[in-house]
A and B are shown apart, each in its own frame.
Chain A
Amino acid sequence: MRSAGLGAALLCVLIGTARAAEIPAAQRQSGSAFMSEATRAMQADDTSNPGMLSVLEGSALWNAPAGKAAKSCASCHGEATASMRGVAASYPAYDERTASPIDLAGRINACRQEHQGLEPFRRESAELLALTAFVGNQSRGLPILPPNDPRLAPHLALGKEIFDRRRGQLDLSCASCHNDNWSGRLGGSPITQAHPTGYPLYRLEWQALGSLQRRVRNCMVGVRAKPFEYGAQELIAVEIYLNQRAAGMNLETPAVRP
């Protein structure tokens, strides 16, 4: 009985991943390549890119003294243009203290707790998104450079497994759309290759800035699956895999998407 059940489960996994072929490096394209001319122009011009408002807000938070010791991010890190250049390009990274991977938003919250003695910002709060966008913006134009850390390897593997595995009532995997059908349209929308080049980004549909985790959770809800919680190790594993998959592509933070 048991082994028959397991056999059936394995068969399902094999079937579920059979078609997924990875996108050759030469064919990789950022989500912005699929957008209309108007949306691309909106992203390219800082005075019309709505995400820049959050970057400005983040800049103010960076310099604002907070907590008992009245320390700001700048008190420790100085000018972000120098100290934060390239940082976002190498997240998620391995966090020694928790012995687990941490994404950029998690890292910002860890500084807030440990060095400023403050409560962490809520995931997807305007403040956390603004600080993440501000730090991310310091890497705009730089290639994604995943950390070469063997301790991340099992998390990378988990992220890939989640990406390739069919889930939800609609029984689709991330790969079903983003590897196998990226050049097509779902309803009226281009599907795209799901490269995490622009996060946090301003999505016109959301009328707001949002994180990569929000986007991935949306796709999970779309296939009628139970999404992983914000900050969950599984979502960070997906982020790690998406970054690896997009290694070398340039960051656009804050991007605009339809």
Chain B
Amino acid sequence: MIVVFLAMFMGLGVAPACAQATIAFQVRGDTIPEPLVARAADASNGARLMADRHRSLCVLCHAGPFSEPHMQGNIAPNLKGLGSRLSAAQIRLRVANIKAINPDSLMPAYLAIADGIDIAEAWRGKTILDPGEVEDIVAYLATLKE
């Protein structure tokens, strides 16, 4: 099965000059096989993002071998050894849009534009992370081997 997801980025100002970038990624089975950006991924930036409680929010739900353990949540699977369990392509789909696998998931879809109700003005029409950030996180998580 191949599904194409289109995510539209609309700048904050919505000025006519402001380009609407469109990212498309292909889902194959439970993976996104291709990297989301052309540049090389930066695993150290991914490690930094993982630990960022305000931007990526990952540690609010997940524990793992990053940031201070007592500040990590425990309502999602522990990500320790993730790189031994899942391929980079599998991790990519889970971070980009886990709801393609489990529509009921608690985890937000990081590269889909939320279309639910009452989205705060500042976040409307935006994805939670951008493709480069997701790619960096994927590169970092793939290094977590048991």
Contact = CB atoms under 8 A, between A and B. Distances in A.
Q: Do A and B come from one complex?
A: yes
Interface of A: 12, 15-16, 18-19, 165-172, 176, 180-181, 184-188, 191, 220-221, 224-226
Contact of B120 (A165, A166, A169, A176): A169
Interface in B105-146: 106, 108-109, 114, 116-124, 126, 128
A181 B124 CA distance: 27
B55 interface: no
A226 B104 contact: no
B75 A12 contact: no
A18 B128 CA distance: 24
Interface stretch (B16-24, B26-34, B41-49, B65-73): B65-73
B121 A226 contact: yes
Interface of B: 53, 57, 59-61, 70-75, 103-104, 106, 108-109, 114, 116-124, 126, 128
B109 A221 contact: no
Nearest to B70: A188
B106 A168 contact: no
Interface residues of B, dominant DSSP: loop
Contacts of B70: 188
Contacts of A12: 116
Interface residues of A, dominant DSSP: loop
Given A186-B73, A187-B59, A181 B106 contact: yes
A225 B119 contact: yes
Given A186-B61, A224-B123, A168 B75 contact: no
B74 A185 contact: yes
B35 to A, nearest CB: 25
Nearest to A172: B106
B75 A185 contact: yes
Contacts of B72: 185, 187-188
A169 B108 contact: yes
A187 B123 contact: no
23 contacts: A12-B116, A15-B103, A19-B104, A166-B117, A168-B119, A169-B124, A170-B108, A171-B108, A171-B109, A171-B116, A180-B106, A181-B75, A181-B106, A184-B73, A186-B60, A186-B75, A187-B59, A187-B72, A188-B70, A224-B119, A224-B120, A225-B117, A226-B118
